[in-house]
């Protein structure tokens, strides 16, 4: 797993965090909908077979 991680990762996470912080309160529903969408996709993939 160490191979996949590089030194740019903390900078990328900081960019994402700043993006969410600048977005304000409206980012909370977007994040919630994204998590629900991922959960639905995972559920559908698990019940596919």
For residue 46, what pLDDT band results from cuts at 50, 70 and 90? very high
Q: What is the pLDDT of residue 1?
A: 45
Whether the per-residue pLDDT at 6 is higher than 70: the answer is: no
Q: Where are the beta strands (DSSP E) in the chain?
A: none
Half-sphere exposure of 34 (CA within 13 A, CB side): 6
The ranges assigned to domains in the chain are 25-49
Half-sphere exposure of 1 (CA within 13 A, CB side): 0
pTM of the model as a whole: 0.62
Tokens 């994204």 correspond to what residue? 34
Residues 14-43 have pLDDT tens digits of 888 898 899 899 999 999 999 999 999 999
What does the alpha-carbon distance between residue 14 and residue 18 come to, in Å, rounded to a whole number?
A: 6
Number of H helices, E strands in the chain: 2, 0
Whether the per-residue pLDDT at 48 is higher than 50: the answer is: yes
């Amino acid at each position: 797993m160490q191979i996949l991680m590089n030194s740019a990762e903390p900078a990328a996470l900081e960019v994402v965090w700043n993006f969410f912080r600048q977005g304000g309160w409206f980012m909370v529903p977007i994040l919630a909908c994204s998590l629900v969408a991922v959960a639905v996709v995972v559920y559908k993939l698990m019940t596919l077979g």
